[in-house]
Amino acid sequence: MDDEYIHKGVDYMLREKPTSRQGEYEVVLLEDLVPEDHLLRKIDKVVDFNFIHDLCKDLYCPDNGRPAIEPGLLFRMLFLGYLYGIKSEVKLAQAVNENIAFKWFLGLKLTEKGPNHATISSNRVWRFRDNNIAEQIFNEILRQCIAKGLVGGKILYTDSTHIKAKANKHRKTFVTVEETPKEYMAELNEQIDLDRKVLGKKPFNHDDDDDPPPGGGKQKAQSLTDPDSGQQSRDGKPDGFHYSEHRTVDSKNNVIVNVHVEPANINDVTPMPGYHNAATAHLLEKNKIQGVIGYRRHTHAQEHYGKYRFHYDFEHDVYICPEKQYLYW
């Protein structure tokens, strides 16, 4: 027979050409279509999002207007966008209607459409803009994760990343920003005086610094489009107006425990006490916490020596520079 062929000694009969079956009716359960080990199942099992409804109820009118989209659904959608790296609200709305696991997570029926991108945007920009609802939701989910043992609290990682602002880098002005002493300077000076007293040395005169420049501040570029952003001009970073997002993650299950956003022209060590600087080192020692600091060799101009070029003589409590000169305390 022409429709019959032999393969490895077994007879196979070719059947009629397959027909399209997409138009057939089929009874299915959405619950059965999502794998048991899916990430969204694990999250849904641990985090109870029902608190969002009561948290947001005062933002809606109870007896007037059209029925609103459930706020818990909107925030679940934003959660999906962040979790799966979907930055566009248009693409997020599209993904919700195409992804079965997303529908299951949002509590939608298989044929039910999710909110469109305009609804997501208008709620995010207008309804939840001038309040701290998003922060309260973050804190409550974190509290639930801590209660379920998902946060260890022993090893945490902090780092920052730049976020481009929607601002033309050429449309800017210059403003004077007042520079104030850092809050921890007084405590550091106190520690220095204590060390000098132990060594039998006179305390420093901490008031002998130079007078501040006229005007009492520093000139910084400010965007005319987005004044809250900051112009980034660090080596290896893209030029223009950006924000810096400082994120702290617990190492046990990679749960984010803190997020802090600042203009990109503010030094990383200013908003977050987690980067390596003198204040952080002092804070660790004061609270009897062992710090593990990554070693870095910073670049220096040719006429200067890097700190790694100096040798410490423990017996004589002295540093020896590359020119064989002794540097005492």
- Is the pLDDT at 211 greater than 60, yes or no? no
Residue 102 lies in a domain: yes
Between residues 1 and 287, the one the model is more confident about: 287
Residue 297 lies in a domain: no
Residue 298 lies in a domain: no
Which residues have a Cβ under 8 Å from the Cβ of 216 and sit 6 or more positions away? Answer: 176, 178, 179
Do 35 and 123 share a domain, yes or no? Answer: yes
Do 95 and 127 share a domain, yes or no? Answer: yes
Do 106 and 166 share a domain, yes or no? Answer: no
Instruction: Please state which of the ranges 22-26, 51-55, 213-217 shows the lowest mean pLDDT.
Output: 213-217
- Which amino acid is residue 192, in one-letter code? I
Mean pLDDT of 216-224: 82
pLDDT tier for residue 313 given thresholds of 50, 70 and 90: very high
Which residues have a Cβ under 8 Å from the Cβ of 306 and sit 6 or more positions away? Answer: 297, 298, 299, 300
As a whole number of angstroms, the distance between CA 15 and CA 3 comes to 8
For residue 244, give the DSSP letter: E
- Is the pLDDT at 23 greater than 50, yes or no? yes
Q: Give the residue among 291, 253, 254 at the shortest CA–CA distance from 274.
A: 291
Residue 241 lies in a domain: yes
Mean pLDDT of 207-233: 76
Residue 295 lies in a domain: no
As a whole number of angstroms, the distance between CA 41 and CA 34 comes to 8
Give phi and psi for 10, each to the nearest 5: -115, 135
As a whole number of angstroms, the distance between CA 57 and CA 278 comes to 46
User: The whole model's pTM is what?
Assistant: 0.73
| Kind plus residue range of the DSSP H or E element containing 278 | helix 278-286
For residue 298, give the DSSP letter: -
Q: In the chain, helix, strand, coil percent, each to 5?
A: 30, 20, 50
Do 86 and 122 share a domain, yes or no? Answer: yes
- What is the per-residue pLDDT for 16? 74
- What is the per-residue pLDDT for 1? 47
Q: Is 76:44 a contact under the CB 8 Å cutoff?
A: no
- Which amino acid is residue 117, in one-letter code? H
| Each residue's pLDDT tens digit, 60-101 | 888 888 888 999 999 999 999 999 999 899 999 999 999 999
Do 161 and 143 share a domain, yes or no? Answer: no
Do 160 and 247 share a domain, yes or no? Answer: yes
Residue 3 lies in a domain: no
Residue 309 lies in a domain: no
249 class by beta-carbon count within 10 Å (0-12 exposed, 13-18 middle, 19+ buried): middle
Distance from CA of residue 292 to its chain's centroid? 22
Which domain, by its residues, includes 185? Answer: 156-207+214-271
Mean pLDDT of 297-301: 66
Do 163 and 103 share a domain, yes or no? Answer: no
Q: Which of 271, 286, 315 is the C-terminal boundary of a domain? A: 271
Do 141 and 168 share a domain, yes or no? Answer: no
- Is the pLDDT at 216 greater than 70, yes or no? no
CA pseudo-torsion sign 160, 175, 224, 238 = negative
| Kind plus residue range of the DSSP H or E element containing 266 | none
Do 143 and 34 share a domain, yes or no? Answer: yes
Residue 10 lies in a domain: no
- What is the per-residue pLDDT for 53? 94
As a whole number of angstroms, the distance between CA 323 and CA 25 comes to 87
Q: Which of 256, 271, 286 is the C-terminal boundary of a domain? A: 271
Do 143 and 41 share a domain, yes or no? Answer: yes
The mean pLDDT value of the chain amounts to: 85
Distance from CA of residue 70 to its chain's centroid? 26
Do 113 and 89 share a domain, yes or no? Answer: yes
Mean pLDDT of 210-219: 61
| Each residue's pLDDT tens digit, 273-285 | 767 777 788 888 8
Do 136 and 172 share a domain, yes or no? Answer: no
263 class by beta-carbon count within 10 Å (0-12 exposed, 13-18 middle, 19+ buried): buried
Q: Which of 147, 173, 198 is the C-terminal boundary of a domain? A: 147
| Each residue's pLDDT tens digit, 236-278 | 788 899 999 999 999 999 999 999 999 998 888 777 776 777 7
Report the domain count for the chain.
Answer: 2
